[in-house]
Structure 1
Amino acid sequence: MMQTLAVVETAEELEALPYDAVVESGGRPAIKGESGAWWYADGQAWEPALPANVLFLPET
Protein backbone atom coordinates (compact mmCIF):
# COMPACT_ATOMS: atom_id res chain seq x y z
CA MET A 1 0.00 0.00 0.00
CA MET A 2 1.32 3.43 -0.94
CA GLN A 3 1.49 6.28 1.52
CA THR A 4 -0.87 9.23 0.97
CA LEU A 5 1.11 12.41 0.34
CA ALA A 6 -1.89 14.76 0.43
CA VAL A 7 -5.65 14.81 0.05
CA VAL A 8 -7.20 16.73 -2.86
CA GLU A 9 -10.63 18.06 -1.97
CA THR A 10 -11.50 20.45 -4.82
CA ALA A 11 -11.56 20.33 -8.61
CA GLU A 12 -9.10 23.23 -8.66
CA GLU A 13 -6.59 21.27 -6.55
CA LEU A 14 -7.01 18.24 -8.83
CA GLU A 15 -6.48 20.40 -11.93
CA ALA A 16 -3.31 21.92 -10.42
CA LEU A 17 -1.58 18.54 -10.01
CA PRO A 18 1.24 18.01 -12.51
CA TYR A 19 1.38 15.55 -15.39
CA ASP A 20 2.25 12.03 -14.15
CA ALA A 21 0.73 12.62 -10.69
CA VAL A 22 -1.08 9.57 -9.29
CA VAL A 23 -4.21 9.77 -7.16
CA GLU A 24 -6.45 7.14 -5.61
CA SER A 25 -10.19 7.59 -5.78
CA GLY A 26 -12.67 4.95 -4.74
CA GLY A 27 -9.84 2.48 -4.20
CA ARG A 28 -8.62 2.83 -7.80
CA PRO A 29 -5.37 4.60 -8.78
CA ALA A 30 -5.33 6.99 -11.75
CA ILE A 31 -2.46 8.80 -13.45
CA LYS A 32 -2.72 12.28 -14.97
CA GLY A 33 -1.86 12.26 -18.66
CA GLU A 34 -0.24 15.02 -20.71
CA SER A 35 -3.66 16.19 -21.90
CA GLY A 36 -4.85 16.59 -18.29
CA ALA A 37 -7.11 13.52 -18.45
CA TRP A 38 -6.97 10.99 -15.61
CA TRP A 39 -6.30 7.43 -16.82
CA TYR A 40 -7.12 4.24 -14.93
CA ALA A 41 -5.40 0.86 -15.34
CA ASP A 42 -8.30 -0.47 -17.43
CA GLY A 43 -7.69 2.26 -20.04
CA GLN A 44 -10.69 4.37 -19.12
CA ALA A 45 -10.37 8.11 -18.56
CA TRP A 46 -12.54 9.58 -15.80
CA GLU A 47 -12.36 12.55 -13.48
CA PRO A 48 -11.51 11.10 -10.04
CA ALA A 49 -14.17 11.44 -7.35
CA LEU A 50 -13.25 13.82 -4.56
CA PRO A 51 -11.73 13.72 -2.08
CA ALA A 52 -8.83 11.84 -3.67
CA ASN A 53 -5.57 10.73 -2.08
CA VAL A 54 -2.36 11.85 -3.81
CA LEU A 55 -0.05 8.82 -4.00
CA PHE A 56 2.74 10.15 -6.24
CA LEU A 57 4.02 13.52 -7.41
CA PRO A 58 6.72 13.66 -10.08
CA GLU A 59 9.83 15.74 -9.51
CA THR A 60 9.46 19.11 -11.15
Structure 2
Amino acid sequence: MEVGERALSRLSSATGGRTKKRYRHTRGACRCCQKKRRRCWGELKTILVKESYLETEGRAKEKQANA
Protein backbone atom coordinates (compact mmCIF):
# COMPACT_ATOMS: atom_id res chain seq x y z
CA MET A 1 0.00 0.00 0.00
CA GLU A 2 1.45 3.31 -1.06
CA VAL A 3 1.73 6.30 1.28
CA GLY A 4 -0.82 8.33 -0.64
CA GLU A 5 -3.37 5.55 -0.53
CA ARG A 6 -2.95 5.15 3.18
CA ALA A 7 -3.44 8.89 3.59
CA LEU A 8 -6.67 8.78 1.61
CA SER A 9 -8.06 5.81 3.49
CA ARG A 10 -7.26 7.54 6.79
CA LEU A 11 -8.81 10.76 5.56
CA SER A 12 -12.08 9.04 4.76
CA SER A 13 -12.59 8.69 8.50
CA ALA A 14 -11.63 12.34 9.00
CA THR A 15 -14.22 13.45 6.44
CA GLY A 16 -17.03 11.60 8.18
CA GLY A 17 -16.59 8.20 6.56
CA ARG A 18 -17.08 9.30 2.98
CA THR A 19 -15.33 7.13 0.45
CA LYS A 20 -12.62 8.18 -1.97
CA LYS A 21 -14.98 8.38 -4.91
CA ARG A 22 -17.16 11.07 -3.43
CA TYR A 23 -14.18 13.32 -2.74
CA ARG A 24 -14.78 15.63 -5.64
CA HIS A 25 -17.68 17.37 -3.93
CA THR A 26 -16.16 18.21 -0.57
CA ARG A 27 -17.51 21.48 0.75
CA GLY A 28 -14.34 22.84 2.29
CA ALA A 29 -11.51 24.06 0.12
CA CYS A 30 -8.02 23.11 1.14
CA ARG A 31 -6.20 25.70 3.22
CA CYS A 32 -3.13 26.22 1.10
CA CYS A 33 -4.50 26.45 -2.43
CA GLN A 34 -8.20 27.37 -1.86
CA LYS A 35 -9.44 25.01 -4.56
CA LYS A 36 -12.74 23.27 -3.98
CA ARG A 37 -11.13 19.92 -4.50
CA ARG A 38 -9.95 17.06 -2.37
CA ARG A 39 -7.35 18.27 0.07
CA CYS A 40 -4.00 18.72 -1.55
CA TRP A 41 -0.95 16.69 -0.64
CA GLY A 42 0.57 19.34 1.63
CA GLU A 43 -2.46 19.23 3.85
CA LEU A 44 -2.61 15.44 3.77
CA LYS A 45 0.97 15.35 4.95
CA THR A 46 0.29 17.65 7.90
CA ILE A 47 -2.64 15.45 8.94
CA LEU A 48 -0.51 12.31 8.68
CA VAL A 49 2.32 13.85 10.66
CA LYS A 50 -0.06 14.92 13.41
CA GLU A 51 -1.67 11.48 13.56
CA SER A 52 1.62 9.61 13.70
CA TYR A 53 2.82 12.01 16.39
CA LEU A 54 -0.32 11.40 18.43
CA GLU A 55 0.06 7.64 17.98
CA THR A 56 3.65 7.66 19.22
CA GLU A 57 2.68 9.92 22.14
CA GLY A 58 -0.11 7.52 23.07
CA ARG A 59 2.25 4.54 22.95
CA ALA A 60 4.79 6.33 25.13
CA LYS A 61 2.12 7.11 27.71
CA GLU A 62 0.91 3.49 27.66
CA LYS A 63 4.45 2.28 28.31
CA GLN A 64 4.78 4.66 31.25
CA ALA A 65 1.44 3.46 32.64
CA ASN A 66 2.49 -0.18 32.31
CA ALA A 67 5.89 0.31 33.92
Q: Tell me the TM-score normalized by structure 1.
A: 0.31
Q: Which one has the bigger strand percentage?
A: 1
Q: Which one has the bigger helix percentage?
A: 2
Q: Tell me the TM-score normalized by structure 2.
A: 0.30
Larger relative contact order (CA 8 Å, sep ≥ 6)? 1
